[in-house]
Structure 1
Amino acid sequence: MKQTQSQQRPKRYGMAIDLDKCTGCGSCMVACFAENNVSFKQDETNKLLSITWLRVYKITNGKPFPDTEVCYVPRPCQHCAGQHEGHSPCVSVCPATATDYSLYTGIVSQIYTRCFGCRYCMAACPYHARYFNWWDPIWPEGMERSLSPNVSPRMRGVVEKCSFCFHRYQLARDKAYLEGKRPIREEEYQTACTQACPSGAIVFGDLNDPAHEVYRIVQPDPDNHYKARNPRAFRLLERLGTNPKVYYLSSREWVRRAGDNYLENEAPGTIGAPRGAH
């Protein structure tokens, strides 16, 4: 069976997260824990040693009551591409090639059996989306039966992170291949956090496919490093040039400014500090 043009075109999987819909419930975090066998300790009070592939942050506009506004920001791995496709900050520094960028899916992978724990990738990631595993996972008796058979638990001494539930992509790809090498349908590959979000704030799909909802929401511009044409959309720390595939949406200007740490007298979209700033 001859492949169609849509099958030959590389994928660019990404997310659109509407911060005006997010309530900060944490369902996405719980779903990520359960789906990807993320280990935990009995005492999770030391957050420096916690592993959370997807973390929800709380930010405010800094104004006193009654003008206070709150926003919750879910932060998975941003799956950066760099200004030149494939030059992600973490991939570029890994001496063991334990992390890699797929030109076919746009997903930054993590190969645990290659990782020897130097943590260069953690230092290079501006989003703090990577976590070092300080201990071998110990599951309470009986809980090991609830682990996902499609995701390997990680040993101590390696770095781990969000994979956009890549095992789900592999399952969907195999099914599509067996059914006549057809394209993967949008609903066949969805991340656990997307499906668990009760407010529908997270949308996942192929940013290269105009038929996918995430493409229609973001309206990425391939001629301008995939910056969003949607005026409500922005990416975290976009001025760094990491070219992430996770887009955020908000109608509140202070939220969009906080996404790139813009100074008070600095217009969003500018590069560098304003003239005269120190």
Structure 2
Amino acid sequence: MARYVMAINTAACLNCKACILACQQRNEVPVGYSRNWVRETNDSAAVLGQNFQPGACMHCDNPPCVAACPTHATYKSKDGSVVIDEDRCIGCGGCIEACPYDARFKNPDTGTADKCDYCRNATPGQVPACVQVCPVHCRIFGDADNPDDPVARALSGGSTYHVRPVGYDTRPTLTYLSPTPENWPQKKEIPPLLAAIGPAASIVKTVGGLALAGVIGVFIKQKLFPSGDASAHGKGEPHD
């Protein structure tokens, strides 16, 4: 099983935003929304006076969005990516509130959570659109466990950097190959009403299971002892 990772060299980024447009087009992202970004921060040492930091979902190994999802629609896949099952998503927004990177949004067309999925649904088996269109190849994607893969060579070629929220180790897998601001995300507290959805869903699931068991019990009883069968009610004197 491959372990997919994206590596980004911020020093090479030109801020052309081709990655953003390509992602929006391939994944049919609604107008006004984006699955990825290029952060701009002042940097007197940079040629243009700014540092450009491309990014997207960090596909964390300890993702708070997974813990926040009451229906397990968001999960950590075996290939290393964090994925959303649209069929199970109820659009509660818990995962959106929990993500310290603001990498998620509620899709107004589907009513479900949306984010970068390495274009796995739009074009399965292909390199993500943002990687394909980058004119300076600052984004690299592939199997980090395959030593011959470009991303594995990039990760082993020098220093690596990760963006972590202050006070919380999300263990992001999206890796930067050059120094980049690391303290911009903040750990979030999920609003009480959203936090209560998870336990409520568990209770509903349990009650639903008991109700289903009751229905099955009635069905079995009717099969074994149909209504009006004397064996089911005891033998008695015939009625007039």
Task: Give the secondary structure class of the aligned counterpart of 2:11.
Answer: coil
Q: Report the Cα offset of residue 113 of structure 1.
A: 2.3
Cα deviation for residue 248 of structure 1 reads 1.0
Q: CA deviation at 1:243?
A: 1.6
Which of the numbers 61, 83, 89 marks the counterpart of 1:81? 61
Runs of at least 4 residues off by over 4 Å: 65-68
Partner of 2:115: 161
- Deviation, structure 1 residue 68: 7.2
Q: CA deviation at 1:95?
A: 0.2
Instruction: Give the secondary-structure state (helix, strand or coil) at the position aligned to 2:121.
Output: helix
Report the Cα offset of residue 71 of structure 1.
1.2
- Residue 260 of structure 1 deviates from its aligned partner by 3.4
Match of 1:194 among 124, 131, 145: 131
Name stretches of at least 5 consecutive residues in structure 1 with no aligned partner. Answer: 1-9, 41-49, 83-87, 137-154, 173-188, 220-228, 262-278
Q: How does 1:172-183 map to 2 (within 5 A)?
A: 172=125
CA distance in 2, matches of 1:238, 1:66: 25
Note the C-alpha offset of 1:128: 0.6
Asked if 2 retains the 8 angstrom alpha-carbon contact of 1:51 and 1:132, the reply is: no
Which residue of the other structure, out of 171, 186, 193, is the alignment partner of 1:243?
171
Q: Is the 8 A contact 2:164 2:171 kept in 1?
A: no
Q: Check conservation: 1:168, 1:191, Cα contact below 8 A.
A: no
For the 8 Å contact 1:58–1:70, the answer to whether it is kept is yes
TM-score by length of 2: 0.70
1:114 to 69, 88, 109: 88
Q: Secondary structure of the equivalent of 1:214? A: helix
How far 1:130 sits from its partner (Å)?
Answer: 0.2
Question: What is the identity, as a one-letter code, of the residue corresponding to 1:190?
Answer: V
SS of equivalent residue, structure 1 residue 59: strand
**Percent sequence identity over aligned pairs:** 33
The question of 1:37 aligning with 2:28 is answered yes
Alpha-carbon distance in 2 for matches of 1:78, 1:163:
10
Shift, 1:116, TM fit: 1.5
C-alpha separation in 2, matches of 1:200 and 1:98 = 33
Report the number of matched residues.
183
Q: Give the RMSD, CA atoms, in angstroms.
A: 2.3
Alpha-carbon distance, 1:112 to partner: 1.6
How much does 1:67 deviate? Answer: 9.0
SS across alignment from 1:100: strand
Contiguous gaps of at least 5 residues in structure 2: 185-240
Aligned twin of 2:67: 92
> Hey, what's the Cα distance between the residues in 2 that align with 1:67 and 1:96?
47
- Distance in 2 of aligned mates of 1:191 and 1:109: 15
Is residue 31–residue 196 contact of structure 1 (8 Å, CA) maintained in 2? yes
CA 1:212 to 1:238, structure 2 compared with 1: closer, same or farther past 3 Å? farther
Q: CA deviation at 1:121?
A: 0.6
Q: CA deviation at 1:163?
A: 0.4
